[in-house]
């Protein structure tokens, strides 16, 4: 049997493509590995923002306006929390909170984050494999002109305003890729970098011991969808961070981050003129519509990518 597609993802961009991939591939044909460098504890609860975005999206529960949380959620618990702790800056909805309570409860009983994620996903009717990048605690630290900030402090509390000068990942020394991620690195037919933030979502996955080396030496096809379209990020700080770290702010600049790790770089039609530059980086350019506004867009892009890697 041919191995599955190993897809690497952060939150919203990866979740949209995951939805398309789940329409095109059978559960055994896909391993969706999700960043957990954004994970944080709030009120004693283990919150995994990117895993939740992927899970809620696949379960049809996602809030398309915010990119986080559950659709039509209410915020009564948080409002009550405001009496105990003034102005809570990390928003957790009532329904969303049930997920974090359950996750924390199961982790407390000794289950791994992989096992917990599997239980939560199957309870919400998801049949495809969604797995955390690691069962160990890894936390993204954003190094800024104002000093080191834990990821959520940078992203939510400071709204990505400080200038990024580097990134660090706390806990790497003790961390390993999760068992299903590890197995997929050995068995996958192809690797897909979803259109996620290269620094905040994909870099933590690549930073896990052995992962960058194994992807660099991967024998199958490695394909990436550019997270930059027409010189901009569709949402989030990807373009801002490219600029701050000295990369060109374009789909070509983003391609440079994946040099040596990727065979095919998928450009949006808006960036067709960059194809030659992609070849010069040693990657094969491919051009298609990559902006996933509707479910049809998500399925069409997933189908295109599966054809590219002959899955």
**Is residue 290 within the footprint of ligand GDP (CB under 6 A)?**
yes
Each residue 12-41 as x (binds Ca ion by CB under 5 A) or -, in order, gives: --------------------------x---
Of 29 and 50, nearer to ligand GDP (C-beta) is 50
- Among Ca ion, ligand GDP, none, the one that 192 touches (CB under a kind-dependent 5 to 8 A) is none
Of 185 and 238, nearer to ligand GDP (C-beta) is 238
**Is residue 244 within the footprint of ligand GDP (CB under 6 A)?**
no
**Is residue 225 within the footprint of ligand GDP (CB under 6 A)?**
yes
Question: Considering only 100-108, 159-167, 170-178, 189-197, which stretch makes contact with ligand GDP by CB under 6 A?
Answer: 189-197
In the complex, least distance from residue 276 CB atom to Ca ion, rounded to whole angstroms: 32
CA angle 208, 212, 213 (to 5 degrees): 120
- Residue pair 47/70 in contact (Cβ under 8 Å)? The answer is no
Of 4 and 10, nearer to Ca ion (C-beta) is 10
Each residue 38-67 as x (binds Ca ion by CB under 5 A) or -, in order, gives: x-----------x-----------------
Of 120 and 190, nearer to Ca ion (C-beta) is 120
Rounded Cα–Cα distance for residues 82 and 309 (Å)? 50
**Is residue 132 within the footprint of ligand GDP (CB under 6 A)?**
no
Each residue 41-80 as x (binds ligand GDP by CB under 6 A) or -, in order, gives: ---------x--x-------------x-------------
| Number of residues near ligand GDP (by CB under 6 A) | 26
- Contact positions vs Ca ion (CB under 5 A): 10-11, 38, 50
- Contact positions vs ligand GDP (CB under 6 A): 10-14, 16, 50, 53, 67, 195-197, 201, 225-227, 229, 233-236, 238, 268, 290-292
């Amino acid at each position: 049997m041919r191995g599955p597609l190993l897809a690497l993802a952060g939150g919203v961009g990866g979740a949209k493509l995951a939805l398309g991939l789940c329409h095109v591939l059978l559960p055994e044909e896909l391993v969706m590995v999700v960043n957990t460098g954004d994970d944080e504890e709030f009120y004693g609860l283990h919150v995994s923002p990117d895993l939740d975005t992927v899970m809620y999206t696949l379960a049809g529960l996602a809030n398309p306006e915010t990119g986080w949380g559950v659709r039509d959620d209410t915020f009564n618990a948080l409002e009550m929390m405001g009496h105990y702790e003034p102005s809570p800056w990390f928003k957790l909805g009532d329904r969303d909170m049930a997920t974090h309570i359950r996750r924390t409860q199961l982790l407390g009983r000794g289950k791994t984050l992989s096992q917990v994620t599997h239980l939560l996903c199957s309870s919400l009717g998801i049949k495809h494999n969604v797995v955390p990048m690691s069962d160990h605690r890894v936390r993204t630290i954003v190094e800024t002109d104002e000093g080191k900030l834990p990821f959520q402090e940078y992203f939510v509390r400071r709204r990505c305003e400080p200038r990024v000068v580097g990134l660090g990942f706390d806990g790497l020394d003790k961390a390993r890729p999760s068992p299903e991620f590890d197995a997929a690195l050995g068995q996958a037919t192809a690797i897909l970098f979803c259109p996620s933030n290269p620094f905040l979502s994909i870099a933590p996955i690549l930073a896990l011991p052995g992962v960058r080396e194994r992807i660099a030496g991967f024998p199958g096809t490695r394909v990436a969808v550019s997270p930059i379209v027409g010189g901009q990020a569709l949402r989030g700080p990807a373009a801002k961070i490219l600029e701050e770290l000295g990369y060109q702010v374009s789909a070509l600049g983003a391609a440079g981050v994946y040099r040596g790790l990727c065979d095919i770089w998928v450009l949006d039609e808006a960036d067709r003129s960059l194809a030659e530059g992609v070849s010069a980086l040693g990657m094969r350019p491919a051009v298609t519509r990559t902006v996933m506004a509707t479910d049809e867009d998500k399925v069409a892009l997933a189908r295109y990518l599966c054809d590219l890697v002959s899955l």
